[in-house]
Amino acid sequence: MFKMPQKITSERIVLVRPYPPTFKLAEEVFEKVELSRETLQKWLPWVPGTKTPEDEYTHWLVNWAQQHWNEGHGFAYLIRDKKTKAVLGAIDLMQVDEVNKSAEIGYWLSNDAVGHGYMTEAVRALESVAFKLGLNRIMIGNDTENTRSVNVPKRCGYHLDGVLRQDKWSEALQSFRDSNVWSKLKSEWLVEQKK
């Protein structure tokens, strides 16, 4: 079974498994979701259903983060500021496929943390560990009009494989949305490490 570390440290941030799932932790994460709700709900389908700290606890901490981690199919991390320990957002390594040695990265940042390069740093930290542990391909998907999210894989050297036309319905935007599909191969990551 594929395993990831409980904690990944980089220059300014720490990616830490949200464990154990406590209500206090759910309140801390929910506060950041609530602060950024208007922005996040445009792009992320789970936001409208996360209306209370109880939802955060049940849906993300227990039913997603815990369950997937235990099964080895997904690894959720909180992104915390290394100095202040404040929650900045979250990043997940999802849909881990051991046979094909592939996975997908998903992420979100609180409005008060955007524009500082934290997500670029988080993606680089997470992909480095995942490639070292044996993955061959990592994918990132995002709405073609979500400029901030689109800039992350661009800055991290991902290849735009293509656009999935009208592959998702957005309740918040009341429209079908196009999604970018980005990928990076281990061979490409290894070349970057030599620079």
Query: What percent of the chain is modeled with pLDDT above 70?
Result: 100
Each residue's pLDDT tens digit, 119-159 = 999 999 999 999 999 999 999 999 999 999 999 999 999 99
The answer to the question of residue 185 being in a domain is yes
The answer to the question of residue 27 being in a domain is yes
Check if the beta carbon of residue 125 is closer than 8 Å to that of residue 132: no
pLDDT beyond 90 at 1: no
Task: Domain count for the chain, please give it.
Answer: 1
Kindly give the pairing relationship between strand 102-109 and strand 137-143: parallel
Give the H or E element holding residue 75: strand 75-81
Nearest alpha-carbon partner for 77 in 157, 6, 26 = 6
The answer to the question of residue 92 being in a domain is yes
Query: Coil, strand or helix: which one is 172?
Result: coil
Check if the beta carbon of residue 157 is closer than 8 Å to that of residue 184: yes
Each residue's pLDDT tens digit, 173-186 = 999 999 999 999 99
Query: Coil, strand or helix: which one is 5?
Result: coil
Give residue 195's pLDDT: 85
The answer to the question of residue 2 being in a domain is no
Each residue's pLDDT tens digit, 39-78 = 999 999 999 999 999 999 999 999 999 999 999 999 999 9
The answer to the question of residue 15 being in a domain is yes
- For residues 81-99, give the mean pLDDT: 97
Residue 12's φ and ψ, nearest 5 degrees, are -115, -10
Q: Which range marks the domain in which residue 15 is found? A: 8-194
The answer to the question of residue 1 being in a domain is no
Q: CATH code at 133?
A: 3.40.630.30
Residue with tokens 């957005």: 170
* The token pair that represents 58 in the structure block: 């049940």
The answer to the question of residue 78 being in a domain is yes
pLDDT beyond 90 at 16: yes
Give the H or E element holding residue 186: helix 186-194
Check if the beta carbon of residue 136 is closer than 8 Å to that of residue 188: no
Is the pTM value of this prediction over 0.75? yes
The answer to the question of residue 3 being in a domain is no
